[in-house]
Amino acid sequence: WQKIDLQRKSKDEIYEMGQSFNQMIDRLSLNFQKQRDFVSDASHELRTPLSIIDSYARLLKRWGAKKPEVLEESIEAILTETERMKKMSNQLLTMAQSEENVKCIKKFFSLTKMCEQIVHSFSLSFEREITLHSADKEIWINADEDQLKQVLYILLDNAVKYSEKEIHISLEETDDHVQITVRNDGEGIPYEDQAHIFDRFYRVDKARSRRTGGTGLGLSIASQIMKQHGGNITVESKPKEETVFTIQLPKK
Ligand code: ADP
Residue of 181, 219, 243, 245 best suited for mutating to test ligand 1, as the one with most atoms within 8 Å of CB: 219
pLDDT at 103: 74
Residue of 169, 203, 226 best suited for mutating to test ligand 1, as the one with most atoms within 8 Å of CB: 203
CA dist., res. 152 & res. 221, Å (int): 11
Q: What is the pLDDT of residues 178-221, one digit of tens each?
A: 999 999 999 899 999 999 999 999 999 888 787 888 889 999 99
> Is 181 near ligand 1, meaning CB less than 6 Å away?
no
Q: 184 and 163 in contact (C-beta within 8 Å)?
A: yes
pLDDT at 2: 63
Using CA positions, which residue lies closest to atom 23 of ligand 1?
159
Extended beta strands in the chain, E state: 107-110, 130-134, 140-143, 167-173, 177-185, 232-238, 242-250
CA dist., res. 244 & res. 169, Å (int): 10
ipTM of this predicted complex?
Answer: 0.98
Q: What is the pLDDT along the chain (252 residues), one digit of tens a residue?
A: 566 777 777 888 888 889 999 999 999 998 888 888 888 888 888 998 999 999 999 999 999 889 999 999 999 999 999 999 999 999 888 888 776 656 788 999 999 999 999 999 999 988 899 999 999 899 999 999 999 999 999 999 999 999 988 999 999 999 999 999 999 999 899 999 999 999 999 999 888 787 888 889 999 999 999 998 999 999 999 999 999 999 999 998
Q: 222 and 154 in contact (C-beta within 8 Å)?
A: yes
Q: Report the number of secondary-structure helices (H) and strands (E) in the chain.
A: 7, 7
Q: 83 and 49 in contact (C-beta within 8 Å)?
A: no
Using the mean position of ligand 1's atoms as its centre, give its distance from the Cα of residue 214 in Å: 8
